[in-house]
Structure 1
């Protein structure tokens, strides 16, 4: 098992390693301006400086663990993660019951589907002026935008999951004497879970996209704010370091969600192996 995982990891690392080597080679030979495209080593150096606190441990007078957590990168990452988690939670909590209702009730679907289809194509970025007008600056408008971004992927996948339940299961449950509530909780909801979790995964990815844009506009900390600040001073190495941090955070959260999906869907025939 360990050898198999190691082989999978190595096979997945081949392309990134090749890209890094090519990138480093191009920069080392001077084919590109270092201010336009800094080398990977320069980005790693800036990332380390971005990670560590500005003050030394002696100057800060803080315990080691508090000094380590006072680094700019960790503070920005924590701020971005907080907004992603809260915004996604708000969007998902609103989308899940509405999606279950629209998927299971034709009347509810006819009532809410027109406005859903009108609002769904509008990108969350388009709400930025209204978000600032309604909520001012700070976390509130960012969380509002993230909630919108996460709402529709969860909603649409939940609707699809409920509406695509195999009719054989429903007829079998009715023949066995199951009531409407039992059919919904024991048949429809479990069958829709794979779709719902797919919507959750897409929604989290959308939340990360929206949080960066929101932080460039409405807040004064976070990874998006720091990337915008670096752009103003033409610190391209810090811009790329912030982008890499976003990618690593997204990868970590997506991997955690994927493991949760695999655990919850062990019964699913696509995951039997």
Structure 2
């Protein structure tokens, strides 16, 4: 067996081991939750049992026609709406578009601010004034400027993704080890070569970290924006459930958001590890 295959198998075993350990706390929490609900210590309208949330989540997921069981009050006496796939696709579309716009604007500006003291001196004061303002504060202006629908939601998401990518890009460029720069200059590298072959590769780990934070922020902002400006998506569905006091559907929607966010973070982490294999090698 080749060494690469052995390393790959060890990596998969470590991942499965970490995943198993990570499941312990959620399983214990759900078991405790179910026990408290079964004992009747909480109002099911306020905190439904995990099994009730699971049933609602399945009904929210499956794209089937409404169905009622013959046994009144039986475990199949709930409707299957099939809204979850549609809402998930709508939310992911907004996240992808908003993150693409925000990161696409932040990356070149961050590179320019990190590489040029003059650009940094001109732009940084404005950035530092705008950066502490949360995207949620822009909701009234976003609706005023763009109306309702996807445009204000995408604007807010882009705003949420912009600053994490920008600040990490600036930091990554400005923190390049001076030894690399002096060595490149001694070898005759010009300004463009120095930037493309030394500064940019050295800043990539920080840029990818900013992208990971930015997409997480974008996913948070999309939920808030969907509660205000659109009529579909995971955030909208939670708001709708709140209006009718469907606490089981609220928790099912929250669980869907958590699982989707976890999947996105795992995907971004794996992408970072794949793109930064050379950097991992330098560290070890």
**TM tier, smaller:** over 0.9
Structure 1 match to 2:7: none
Residue 52 of structure 1 pairs with residue 62 of structure 2: yes
Structure 1 SS opposite 2:278: coil
- Counterpart CA distance in 2 for 1:210 and 1:56 is 32
Structure 1 match to 2:45: 35
Give the CA deviation at 1:270.
7.0
Residue 72 of structure 1 pairs with residue 83 of structure 2: yes
Structure 2 match to 1:209: 220
Structure 2 SS opposite 1:37: coil
Query: 1:166-245 counterparts in 2 under 5 A?
Result: 166-245=177-256
Segment of structure 1 superposing worse, 248-257 or 99-108: 248-257
- Counterpart CA distance in 2 for 1:29 and 1:202 is 41
Residue ranges of structure 1 left out of the alignment (5+ in a row): 58-69
- Counterpart CA distance in 1 for 2:32 and 2:277 is 41
- Counterpart CA distance in 2 for 1:124 and 1:143 is 11
Residue ranges of structure 2 left out of the alignment (5+ in a row): 1-9, 68-80
Number of aligned residues:
261
Structure 2 SS opposite 1:267: helix
- Counterpart CA distance in 2 for 1:270 and 1:14 is 32
Structure 1 match to 2:94: 83
- Counterpart CA distance in 2 for 1:5 and 1:226 is 34
Deviations 1:173-197 (A, max 9, x none): 0001101111101110011001000
Residue 263 of structure 1 pairs with residue 274 of structure 2: yes
8 A Cα contact 1:139 1:219, kept in partner? yes
Among 158, 163, 171, the alignment partner of 1:160 is 171
CA RMSD of aligned residues (A): 1.6
Among 29, 39, 62, the alignment partner of 1:19 is 29
Q: What is the TM-score of this pair, normalised by structure 1?
A: 0.92
8 A Cα contact 1:84 1:211, kept in partner? yes
Structure 2 match to 1:120: 131
- Counterpart CA distance in 2 for 1:132 and 1:49 is 33
- Counterpart CA distance in 1 for 2:111 and 2:208 is 13
- Counterpart CA distance in 1 for 2:132 and 2:190 is 37
8 A Cα contact 1:165 1:191, kept in partner? yes
